[in-house]
Amino acid sequence: MHELSIVSSVVETVSESLAAYPGARVLEVRLRVGALASVVTESLEFCYGIASEGTPLEGSRLVVSVLPVVMHCEACKEDVELDGVQSFRCTRCGEPCSEMRQGRELEIESIEIDEMNEVEVKS
């Protein structure tokens, strides 16, 4: 439901980071999204087209990697990857886990840019 706000924030952040690459055009934006981040990939992609219109990101691809939830199991003294988000128990010993190590990420990992105009701008 708030995917448009999320995506608008992505467009804003990426546009700001382009200051270091004058004239560059964005080809791809890669996001890392935790399984518990409450955002839907399809919805992000849909909103991305709208939010990137008229910006240097227009026409670029949005690639979303979903990260599984990783909990720390006190009993096993190890980090375990959960199969889903319906039960927060260790997948080995079955004990409940409360310490999350991964799963809520909402992050821009990297962007791929085309610097074709850079020389022109510098001259």
Residues that bind another protein (CB under 8 A): 1-2, 5-6, 9-10, 13-14, 17, 21, 27, 31, 36-39, 85-89, 96-98, 100, 104, 106-116, 118
CB nearer to another protein: pick between 50 and 85: 85
Min CB(87)–another protein separation in Å:
5
Report the C-alpha gap between 47 and 32 in whole angstroms. 17
Both tokens assigned to 9: 């924030």
- In angstroms, what is the minimal distance from the CB of 93 to another protein? 13
- SS3 at position 111: strand
Burial string for 54-92 (b: 16+ CB within 10 Å, else e) reads eebbeebebebeebebbbebeeeeeebebeeeeeeebee
Q: Which is nearer to another protein, 14 or 80 (CB)?
A: 14
Q: How far is the CB of 66 from another protein (least distance, A)?
A: 13
Residue whose CB is less far from another protein, 49 or 75:
75
Look up residue 123 and give its DSSP letter: -
3-state secondary structure of 40: coil
Q: Which is nearer to another protein, 9 or 65 (CB)?
A: 9
